[in-house]
Amino acid sequence: MRCPYCGSNETQVKDSRPSEDNSAIRRRRVCGDCGGRFTTFERVQLRELTVIKKTGRRVPFDRDKLVRSLQIALRKRSVEPERVERMVSGLVRRLENMGESEIASSAIGHLVMEALKTLDDVAYVRFASVYKNFREAKDFEALLGELSGDDDLAGDAGADSGAEAVED
Ligand SMILES: [Zn+2]
The confidence score (pLDDT) of residue 29 equals: 96
CA of residue 38 to ligand 1 center, whole Å: 10
DSSP H or E segment with residue 64: helix 63-73
Both 20 and 100 in one domain: the answer is: no
Q: Are residues 143 and 92 in the same domain?
A: yes
Residue type, 54: K
61 C-alpha vs ligand 1 centroid, how far in Å?
Answer: 26
Residues 102, 155 within the same domain:
yes
Q: Is the pLDDT of residue 47 over 70?
A: yes
**Residue 155 CA, ligand 1 centroid: distance in Å:** 40
- What is the whole-number distance in angstroms between the Cα of residue 10 and the centre of ligand 1? 8
136 C-alpha vs ligand 1 centroid, how far in Å?
47
Using DSSP bridges, classify how beta strands 37-43 and 24-31 pair: parallel, antiparallel or unpaired. antiparallel
Same domain, 15 and 92: no
Same-domain pairing of 97 and 138: yes
- Does residue 53 share a domain with residue 35? no
Number of domains in the chain: 2
Task: Judge if 62 and 125 occupy the same domain.
Answer: yes
Q: How far apart are CA 113 and CA 100, in angstroms?
A: 20
Together in a domain, 65 and 52: yes
pLDDT band at 44 (very low <50, low <70, confident <90, very high): confident
Q: Indicate if 74 and 32 belong to the same structural domain.
A: no
Amino acid at 132: K
Give the least confident one: 4-8, 17-21, 31-35, 140-144.
Answer: 140-144
pTM confidence score: 0.63
65 and 81 co-located in one domain: yes
Say how many Å lie between the CA of residue 28 and the centre of ligand 1.
Answer: 14
Ligand 1 centroid to residue 74 C-alpha, Å: 29
Asked if the model's pLDDT at residue 132 lies above 90, the reply is no
- Cα–Cα distance measured from residue 26 to residue 31, given in angstroms and rounded to the nearest whole number: 16
C-beta neighbour count of 32 within 10 angstroms:
12
CA of 41 from ligand 1 middle (Å) equals 18
Confirm if 122 and 72 have CB atoms less than 8 A apart.
no
CB atoms within 10 A of CB 162: 24
3-class SS shares of the chain: helix, strand, coil, % to 5: 45, 20, 40
Dist CA 162 CA 70 (whole Å): 6
Question: What's the 37 CA to ligand 1 centre distance in angstroms?
Answer: 8
Residue 104 structural domain = 46-167
Q: What is the pLDDT of residues 57-72, one digit of tens each?
A: 999 999 988 888 888 8
Residue 155 or residue 75, greater confidence = 75
Q: Tell me, yes or no, whether 37 and 86 share the same domain.
A: no
Task: Tell me the CA–centroid distance for residue 46 and ligand 1, in Å.
Answer: 31
Verify that 133 and 79 share a domain, yes or no.
yes
